Amino acid sequence: MKRFWVYVLSIMAFAHITLNFSPLGLGDRADKYLQDLFNTYAGSLVYGAPQEDVTILLLTDEALSTHQRGHWPASYDFHGKVLNSLLHEKPRAVFIDFLWLSQRPEAIAAAPRDGDYLIKVLQRYNRASIPVYLSSTPAVEQNWPELNGLVTHVGAELRIDPVDFVSRTYPAALTTEVETPAFRIAREVRPHLFRQRPTEPMDVFWGTSSNKKNSWMKAEEHDADIAKVALYGFSGVKTPVPFNTTLYVRDLLKQVGGTREEVREQAAALMKGKIILYGANLSGVNDLIFTPTRDILPGVYLHAMALDNLLRWGPEYKSATGQGLLANDIWRGLWNLLIVLPVAMLLAFFYRRPDSGTPIPDQGASRVLRSVCIILALACWFAAWGIVEFVYFNVSAGTVAGYLAFLTLGFFLNIIGMADWLMDHVPTWKTKVCCRLARTLGRH
Amino acid sequence: MKLSMKRFALALAMAALCHAAAAGDLKISALAADATELDLFSPDADGAYLKSVELSKLKFPIAILEDRNGGFIVRLEGKKYYVNGPDVIANNVYKVTAECDNAFTTSLVGATRGIAGKGC
């Protein structure tokens, strides 16, 4: 019995280290990788269809070539023209994902300055009570004092994982005053969802279902062979048809359809009452992100996906620590150990070495079968708790993966072996040392 | 052969007449819903904003001189201006055939964008 509890304690100690620490960063890496696998292959099952309320208005090379002769940055008048065209469709809110850092040129003769029209259009938004959010830095605010009161400044920084450059985390705010676009828009557009201002950074869960509204787009087929990925890991990156509903600026400025009524109907379906995120996908303008599903997309899609997560889950969005008791480090550590306790007891029971005098059990096929059953049972146990954590405690899949400690079963068993070895040898060592000490003392 | 030539000439004349009639008929009948003024831009390639004219000062229909990139070239007070297509209601014919590539790609280039980039 004493041996059994030594086994259990050894396993619990090991579990504590592996679940609450990440020696050499390896545990954390494994967690993130499994989180990405879970997102890629269970994404459509867990997340479903995109929110109807979000549309991305994407500026592409083609529109820039047609309307600006390919020049970048585009003139402020051009942005004004795009935003005014959008205003006719009466969106619910607009987020502008451009850093307006270019200084406005001086006016020539009596002609208006570039940017005057943009201000005029933003005033129209103001009169129509349509909120406009602008990606900002202190330099943008300094460059555009005329926009104070017309737009809400939101943070424009992206967070990437320093090891694999994946954009998984989306902060709630950059400073106490500057919130990130998705959090600010979600709080203001759906105030009933957020009784308190969220502070915990979000682990963005990427939707992977196909979006019928994007069926007009053509993109590379995504290699989703799970067996290959399971055996060799992710390889290569792609640009798929995006999950979020997308409209090109090209099509907003030059509307194509059978009749005017048809065009109006299509435009309303994409923009009327929607939250529009106006961003760009331009060659040589590297506002690109690397998603957990190993896709490369324009940066505006990260804001769109984070917003989609917030509109879907509200304050119960997924994060590394989750909400409620689990957000507390001590409770979290305890929770982890409680989940591992039955596992430790099970392993200790089945893998214990028989006491002296007990006949040695059969070491053949039955032992292998028993091991397989134990591993399957453990997999189910951890998967079940993973689901509970994801659904009820809003912990991102990364921590779910952390619970897949059965992967370290070999380590556990080795620890049992080590415990056996120590229990066998320590008393002998102790006796030997004592005897030697006694002899030495006797001699003197 | 003579008959064929006559038929061909007749068809050519009819086509020319139809085209002229179509071009002549293009007009702006109103501003987009809720718009209170018409924004006028330079007809030059830069498309710079020039001025806005209040709805009360406009006389409809306004003849369209040219259908260009989803917008229209019009003449007001003797000067040519570019009008943004979505800002007005016109009797232009909508095309149902997509002219552009609908590919969605992100190109990872090892260079910063210059003054002019690629277009379709």
Assign residue B39 the CATH number of its domain.
2.30.30.40
Residue numbers of the domain that contains B89 = 27-107
Question: Do the Cβ atoms of B106 and A296 come within 8 Å?
Answer: yes
**Which among A40, A16, A12, A25 has a CA at the least distance from the CA of A397?**
A40
Chain B residue numbers touching A242 (CB-CB < 8 A): 104
Q: Look at residue B119 and tell me if it is in a domain.
A: no
Supply the DSSP string of A70-102, one letter for each residue.
TBSSPPHHHHHHHHHHHHTT--SEEEE-----S
Q: Is the pLDDT of residue A339 over 90?
A: no
Residues whose CB falls within 8 Å of the CB of residue A357, separated by 6 or more in sequence, listed in order: none
Residues whose CB falls within 8 Å of the CB of residue B86, separated by 6 or more in sequence, listed in order: A84, A85, A88, A252, A253, A255, B32, B70
pLDDT band at A158 (very low <50, low <70, confident <90, very high): confident
Report ipTM for this prediction: 0.76
Q: How many helices (H) and strands (E) does chain B have?
A: 1, 7
Chain A residue numbers touching B103 (CB-CB < 8 A): 217-219
Judge if the upstream peptide bond of residue A91 is cis by omega within 30 degrees of 0. no
Mutate to test the interface with B, among A58, A77, A290 (most CBs of B within 10 A): A77
Q: Look at residue B44 and tell me if it is in a domain.
A: yes
- Which range, A394-398, B102-106, B114-118, has the best average confidence (pLDDT)? B102-106
Question: Do the Cβ atoms of A114 and B105 come within 8 Å?
Answer: no
Q: Which residues pair with A134 in a beta bridge?
A: A96, A153
Flag the least confident range among A100-114, A170-184, B28-42. Answer: A100-114
Q: Look at residue B11 and tell me if it is in a domain.
A: no
Number of domains chain B contains:
1
Chain B residue numbers touching A66 (CB-CB < 8 A): 69, 119
Q: Which of B51, B70, B107 sits opposite A283 (nearest CB)?
A: B107
Predicted pLDDT of residue B17: 44
Question: Do the Cβ atoms of B119 and A114 come within 8 Å?
Answer: no
pTM, entire model: 0.82
**Quick check: A89 and A275 in contact, CB under 8 A?**
no
Average pLDDT over residues A73-79: 95
A44 CA to chain B: closest CA distance, Å?
21
Nearest CA in chain A to B41: A77
Average pLDDT over residues A180-192: 95
Q: Is the pLDDT of residue A101 over 80?
A: yes
pLDDT band at B20 (very low <50, low <70, confident <90, very high): very low
Tokens matching residue A66: 């047609």
Question: Do the Cβ atoms of B101 and A281 come within 8 Å?
Answer: no
Size of interface A-B (CB pairs under 8 A): 145
Chain B residue numbers touching A70 (CB-CB < 8 A): 115-119
Q: Is the pLDDT of residue A201 over 70?
A: yes
Question: Do the Cβ atoms of B106 and A285 come within 8 Å?
Answer: no
Question: Do the Cβ atoms of A218 and B70 come within 8 Å?
Answer: no
B41 CA to chain A: closest CA distance, Å?
9
Predicted pLDDT of residue A237: 76
Q: Look at residue B6 and tell me if it is in a domain.
A: no
Average pLDDT over residues A165-188: 93
Q: For chain B, say whether A254 makes contact (Cβ under 8 Å).
A: yes
Q: Which residues pair with A8 in a beta bridge?
A: none
Q: Look at residue B59 and tell me if it is in a domain.
A: yes
Q: Look at residue B74 and tell me if it is in a domain.
A: yes
Average pLDDT over residues A323-339: 79
